[in-house]
A = this chain, B = another copy of it.
Amino acid sequence: MAQAKRITPRAQDYSEWYNDVIMQAELADYSPVRGCMVIRPHGYMLWELMQRALDDMFKATGHKNAYFPLFIPMSFLAKEAQHVEGFAKEVALVTHTRLRATGKPGAQAIEVDPDSKLEEPLVVRPTSETIIYAMFSKWIQSYRDLPLLLNQWCNVVRWELRTRLFLRTTEFLWQEGHTAHATEAEAETEARQMLGIYRKFQEEWMAMPVITGRKTESERFAGALRTFAVEALMQDNKALQAGTAHNLGQNFAKAFNVQYQTPAGGLEYVWNTSWGVTTRMIGGLIMTHSDDNGLICPPRLAPIQVVIVPIWKSDEEYSQVSAVGLRVKTELEKAGIRVELDLRDSLKPGAKYFEWEAKGVPLRLEVGPRDVAAKQMMGARRIGGKAPVMLEDIAPRVAAALAEIQAQLFKSAKDRREAHSIRGVTKAQFIDLMKGEGGFAFGGFCGSAKCEAEIKQATAATIRVLPDAEFQSPEVPKLCMWCGSPSIAEAVWAQAY
């Protein structure tokens, strides 16, 4: 199906490179609907693997999945003032419910039936705080009903003007966790816990190192008390916000009257959190690892972890190598390894290598007649390196190779991020960095929105997070790197997606 098109090198055009990687790996495609993409099987399998891993972590921490309506009455959105302000400019609105013939001849002669106008327009959910907390007010009566820990996997729509495959699309897939707690401290702990789960998933599964921390007011979620985020650095040294967790305080509880009876008999508003990650993570995975030959996928999330490519000339050779290929495939599958055996006779081995490299398969096992004789296969790693793998006990050998590749990918990505991070940045260095190759700049911040705005205006950089202790510099900056006033917190700036 894919044409063997060359991928634009990163150095030539990073943005073209990104799109080419996606198209060649058949992860996604443009759809005829403005800003909406089609997630193709290889990309969707990646998403399913991400979902499975995250879902297990959510469930292990006591969360349960549920499903809430796609549509939200317009008036609900308006109940939390900041919330509606944040989303009003980018919502898809359902206003009618029937089509009718125009009377003109021709198959396409249909139009919206004006008689089917809804009394109240419905918003296609951009996020579900309002509809979910409306239900919470029905379900929560007593402290015994708390905490309530729910999550949903669904599609959401935000009418974006400029879209990029996976990174920013009008419709995207995500999970949104929504919880209710008796106290602010519990809500804070929950938001923090989920941020930790995102970090664990992104580092251990995606092999994508992240910085965790708190957002400043200007980057806070519309309606939240505090927003926490995980931020990763892409290969073009731009930051990608890869997930957020919000302590919503009692804002939505007050808007939707979510109250509970305390053990003492009093009535209190609950404290909510919400947290989410999206198909955007696939964009992050691509831009963390891939190269000019296409996708590089960390083994734990690779839809195909191993491809076996038999090499033959005669029919006799074919029966030899295909038999060994099939046997190894079965062995690897038994060990829980996702493996493909490529027996197509319409393609030469070189063309197959090209295709599986573009698709990001971590390990290729080539097997020709000489390998069969030597009781081995030739293992070629997607990140470089070729060495024979003995057929005896091949499953644990392959599993070990995959674990090694996983670890190497994380290390490389972390080394790259560190190489593009400046600590104790000065204003001059900062301006140079943002004009130049970009990266994470750690520096003092005075806390003023004015400074933030000025910096954004001058350099297009924003504060990604006020980093958590673990990511803070050994020397606490004393002054704002921009205005020189006393610093209230260390900040990490970058230009961002």
Q: How far is the CB of A2 from chain B (nearest CB, A)?
A: 10
Do A110 and B134 form a contact, CB below 8 Å, given A36-B69, A38-B66?
Answer: no
23 A–B contact pairs at CB < 8 A? A29-B139, A32-B76, A33-B71, A33-B72, A36-B71, A38-B68, A39-B66, A44-B66, A44-B67, A69-B171, A79-B107, A88-B98, A88-B100, A89-B98, A91-B97, A93-B96, A93-B98, A93-B99, A96-B121, A97-B159, A98-B159, A112-B121, A144-B346
Q: Which residues of B contact A109 (CB under 8 A)?
A: 78
Cα-based distance from A154 to B155 in the complex (angstroms): 8
Q: Which A54-104 residues sit within 8 Å CB-CB of chain B? A: 64-79, 81, 84, 88-100
Contact between A139 and B93 (Cβ–Cβ < 8 Å)?
A: no
Q: Give the Cβ gap from A136 to chain B, nearest Cβ, in Å.
A: 11
Interface 1/0 per residue, A41-54 and B, CB below 8 Å: 10011011000000
- Residue of B with least CB distance to A152: B44
Rounded to whole angstroms, the CA-CA distance of A291 and B116 in the bound complex is 40
Q: Does A261 touch B at the CB level, under 8 Å? A: no
Closest to A142 in B: B1
Query: A154 to chain B: which residues have CB within 8 Å?
Result: 155
Q: Give the complex CA separation of A68 and B171 in angstroms.
A: 10
Query: Which residues of B have CB within 8 Å of A488?
Result: none
For chain A, residues 269 to 311, give those with C-beta under 8 angstroms from any C-beta of chain B: none
Q: Which of A73, A76, A78 has the most CB of B within 10 A?
A: A78
List residues of chain B with CB within 8 A of the CB of A123: 99
- The reply to whether B91 and A93 form a contact with Cβ atoms under 8 Å apart is no
Contact B141 A1 (CB under 8 A): yes
A108 to B121, CA, bound (A): 13
What residues on B are CB-neighbors of A140 within 8 Å? 1
Question: Are B107 and A98 closer than 8 Å at their CB atoms?
Answer: no
**Shortest CB–CB separation between residue A108 and chain B, in angstroms?**
5
Question: Is the C-beta of A431 less than 8 angstroms from some C-beta in chain B?
Answer: no
- Say yes or no for A31: interface residue by CB 8 A criterion: yes
- Within 8 Å by CB of A31, from B31, B64, B68, B112, lies B68
Tell me how far the C-beta of A167 lies from the nearest C-beta in chain B, rounded to whole angstroms.
16
A145 at the B interface (CB under 8 A)? yes
Which of chain B's residues have a CB closer than 8 A to the CB of A40? 66
Interface SS, A side: mixed
- Nearest 8 CB-CB pairs, A to B? A36-B69, A41-B64, A39-B67, A88-B99, A97-B159, A93-B96, A78-B108, A33-B69
- A491 at interface (Cβ–Cβ under 8 A)? no
Closest-CB distance, A72 to chain B (whole angstroms): 7
Q: Which of B68, B100, B145, B346 contacts A1 (CB 8 A)?
A: B145
Question: Does A150 sit within 8 A of B, measured CB to CB?
Answer: yes
Residue of B nearest to A75 (CB): B108
CB distance from A362 to the nearest CB of B (A): 20
Q: Is residue A191 contacting chain B, with contact meaning CB distance below 8 A?
A: no
CA distance A346 to B143 in the complex (A): 13
Known: A44-B65, A94-B124, A95-B96. 15 other contacts (CB 8 A): A33-B73, A39-B67, A40-B66, A44-B67, A71-B170, A71-B171, A74-B110, A79-B108, A84-B107, A88-B98, A89-B99, A92-B122, A93-B95, A94-B94, A96-B121
Query: Is A449 among interface residues, defined by CB-CB distance under 8 A?
Result: no
Q: Which residue in B32, B81, B98, B131 is a CB contact (below 8 Å) of A73? A: B32
- With A41-B150, A155-B70 as known contacts, state yes or no: A48 contacts B31, CB within 8 Å: no
CB distance from A114 to the nearest CB of B (A): 11
Say which residue of B45, B65, B78, B108 sits within 8 Å of A48 (CB atoms): B65
In the assembled complex, A135 has its CB within 8 A of some CB on chain B = yes
Most buried by B among A66, A74, A135: A66
Give chain B residues whose Cβ lies under 8 Å from the Cβ of A37. 69
Complex alpha-carbon distance, A357 and B98, angstroms = 43
Distance, CA A406 to CA B153, complexed state (A): 30
A281 to chain B, nearest CB (A): 15
